[in-house]
Homo-oligomer: A and B are copies of this chain.
C-alpha cells in the first residue's frame, strides 16, 4: 500500500488538466444531487437505463464526474442485480477510494463474486486501515486465501492490524504518519518533506509528531504553526508538549469521545511502552462517532445492524431474538394478570383500563432509559454524579406521575367510578416513579458490570414497568374492594 493513489496527481507535477474534465460536480443542487446532497431519483434512473440498455459509454459519462463517495452511494441505491452491470460499465472508475467507501454489505456481496487474486489486487490499492476494514469481516478461510495472494509487506501490515481486537485503536489506526526527531529546525523539516525521494509520506497529514530517540512522542506540530514560523527556529520551540496520546488498546467509542472532547484533528497512538505506533485522524473517527452515537436507538429496540442493505436473514435473526426475549417478559406480565382473573371477571372495566397504566409506565421508563444510556455513552454520567442524577430523575418522575395520574384519574372518575379513578391515579403514580427508577438503575448496573447498557437494559426495564403496571393497578383495585 505504498504511495497510494491520491485523489489528485502529485502536486509537484504541474498543471492538472483532468481536474476540469466533464461538468463540475457541485454536490448540492446540481443535475445529480438535490439540496440535501442526495442523488436525485431521475439521475439514478438515467444510470439504470444506461446500464440495463448496455450503453456503457453513456453510463460512464453519467458517473464520471462523481466523487468516489457518491459512486459508492449509487451502488447502494441500485438493486443487487444491477450492481455488477454498473461495475462492469465503469471499471476505470472503480478505484480503491470507491471500494473503501462502499457500504459494508454491498461490498461483501461484490467481493464474494471475485476470486482471491482479484480481491488481493483491490486490497493492495487501499490504505492499510481501509484494507483491514474490508478484510476483517470475511470468513477466516477467505481471509487466508486473500492474504496469501498479497505482497509480503502489505500482508504483514494487515496481519499486524488484525492482531488487535476489533474496534480498538490498534485495529483502526493508520500506520503511516510523519515523525521527526527533536533537534530539527523548521527549515530541516520543510526540506525533508520536499525531498522527492522522501520515504513514503502519508497521502494526507495534518500534523507532525516529534519523537525522542526511543520513539516516544514528546510533542506535536500542527502544519499551520510550521508554515508561520521562520526556517531557523527549532521544532522543539514550535511544538506543543501537551498532547493527547491514544493507547493502542482503547475502544473506538472512547477514541471518538476523546477526539470530540479535545477537538483533535489527529492524535498519536502509542503502545504499552509508550512508543509511537500509529495515528488516528478525525475523518476516520467521524465515522465511529456517528455510528456509536446512532446505534443506541437501534440497540435499545433490538433492531440489530440497522443497515438497510443487511441481508434479510441477518436482520431476521437479530430482531427475532429480541422479540422472543420480549415475549418472555410479556408472558411474565400476563401471569400477573392471571392472578387477578376473578377480579376481572367481576369488573370488566379492570381489563379495559389496565393496559393504560402499563403503557404509560413503559413510555416513562423508555424516556429515562434513553437519557441515561446517552449520558453514559457521552461520559456525562460517571460515578461522581450518579446519585445526583438519580435524585433528579426521581423528581421529574414524581412531577410526571402526579400530572398524568391526575389527568387519567379525573377521566376515569367521570367515565367510570370515583373509586376506579382513585385506583388508576395511584397505580399510575407508582408505575411512573418505578419506571423512572428502573430507567436509571438498570443501565447504570449494566455499565458497572461492564456490559453495554444500550443492549441489555430495555428488556429488563420493560419487564419491570409492564409487571408493576398490572400489579399496581389490579392489586390496588382488589385491595379497594373492587372486582368483588
Contact = CB atoms under 8 A, between A and B. Distances in A.
A214 to B, nearest CB: 17
A323 B404 contact: yes
A354 B264 CA distance: 53
Contact of A39 (B367, B368, B384): B384
Contacts of A392: 308, 312, 315
A333 B320 contact: no
Interface in A1-54: 7-8, 11-12, 14-16, 19-20, 24-29, 36-39, 41, 44-45
Number of identical protomers: 2
A190 B226 CA distance: 10
B323 A11 contact: no
Contacts of A375: 306, 308
Interface of A, secondary structure class, is helix
A114 interface: no
A133 to B, nearest CB: 14
Interface in A348-395: 348, 350-356, 358-360, 363-364, 366-371, 373-375, 377-385, 388-389, 392, 395
A484 interface: no
A89 to B, nearest CB: 18
Closest 5 CB pairs of A and B: A297-B297, A293-B293, A351-B351, A223-B223, A293-B294
Interface in A283-316: 283, 285-287, 289-291, 293-294, 296-298, 300-303, 306-308, 312, 315-316
Contacts of A384: 39, 41, 44-45, 77
A371 B330 contact: no
A403 B396 CA distance: 39
B282 A38 contact: no
B371 A37 contact: no
Nearest to A256: B290
Contacts of A334: 352-353, 355-356
A338 interface: yes
B352 A348 contact: no
A319 interface: yes
Nearest to A29: B247
Given A38-B379, A190-B227, A400 B289 contact: no
Given A69-B262, A330-B359, 14 more contacts: A11-B237, A28-B258, A37-B257, A39-B384, A41-B382, A69-B261, A77-B382, A263-B283, A301-B366, A308-B392, A315-B396, A320-B403, A323-B403, A344-B348
